[in-house]
Structure 1
């Protein structure tokens, strides 16, 4: 099995702060964002977050989540992608050359601590897209779930976070639809 790189694990954790199935959001209010960022070493504990910074984080998260649905056949909402693009423009990154290695992306100097942390999320997302690894990060095709997962299959063909749960739900629903719409069946 192919293990997810740290950038994928970070992005996956960020977008999964929303649980569609349970109807929960770990970042629903501004006070939750600094704790989440601090737990991942992106922000010093106790750093305050403004309402605007909280909104930037939510717009970034929603746009990345929407983008990940493409990998399982969904058509993304262009408005959510535009919003995320606008956030990315407000979180500048700089490329830095390191002796004997490739260039690295880093949050631009001068950002507030929270914007610096959000820019670090943007760096992780950018690294995944540039390397093509973002194609392995997918949003479950079962829309009642929509959990984001790392596709460790050799041919990158997984569509559901769990075949036993979400895959079976989808297949059972298709089967039931075929049975009720088949000629000669009641329904």
Structure 2
């Protein structure tokens, strides 16, 4: 069983800052996002985010969620908007850090540097092929992002007990209703 890399854990945590089922968003405000970034050492405690910077993080999060494996159709608009955010991210390709050729470019604004750290983590997850182990729950009401630790990469739900059971119960009820006519 392959454990998630720190980059994969960061991307999983970032995408799960929003709970689609309940509507709770851990980074709904600029202060909450600044605290989340500080807690993960992506920014300093004095990070003051503008509304535009806050929106860039939310757009990137939506794009990453959209890019993850799921049964749902992809919304190209979300990916395009996230690409626009990434186009302004200061990332440097370097030989200076063994095993980590992508780093945030030095001297950038703190919010852009934090965005660059997330972008570098995303790039690492994609380039290592681990992106196929990060998945969105197939239960359409959930959408939680999880690390697929199954041997054959076939896990579909964040929790078989909850989301898997919901989906299977709904299918069973539909089949019974169809047979009953």
Does TM, scored on the shorter chain, surpass 0.5?
Answer: yes
Matched, 1:150 2:147: yes
Matched, 1:23 2:23: yes
Report the aligned-residue RMSD: 1.3
Q: 4+ residue stretches of structure 1 with deviation over 4 A?
A: none
- Distance (whole Å) between structure 2 residues aligned to residue 16 and residue 176 of structure 1: 30
Q: Which has the larger radius of gyration?
A: 1
- Distance (whole Å) between structure 1 residues aligned to residue 130 and residue 50 of structure 2: 32
Q: How many residues align?
A: 181
- Distance (whole Å) between structure 2 residues aligned to residue 139 and residue 111 of structure 1: 32
Identify if the C-alpha distance between structure 1 residues 88 and 142 changes in structure 2 by more than 3 Å, giving closer, same or farther.
same
Matched, 1:94 2:87: no
Structure 2 length as normaliser, TM-score? Answer: 0.95
Higher mean alpha-carbon deviation, 105-114 vs 80-89, is at 105-114
Q: Which residue of 2 aligns with 1:133?
A: 130
Structure 1 length as normaliser, TM-score? Answer: 0.92
Q: Which runs of 5 or more residues in structure 1 are unaligned? A: none
**Cα offset, 1:109, TM superposition:** 2.6
Q: Which residue of 2 aligns with 1:123?
A: 120
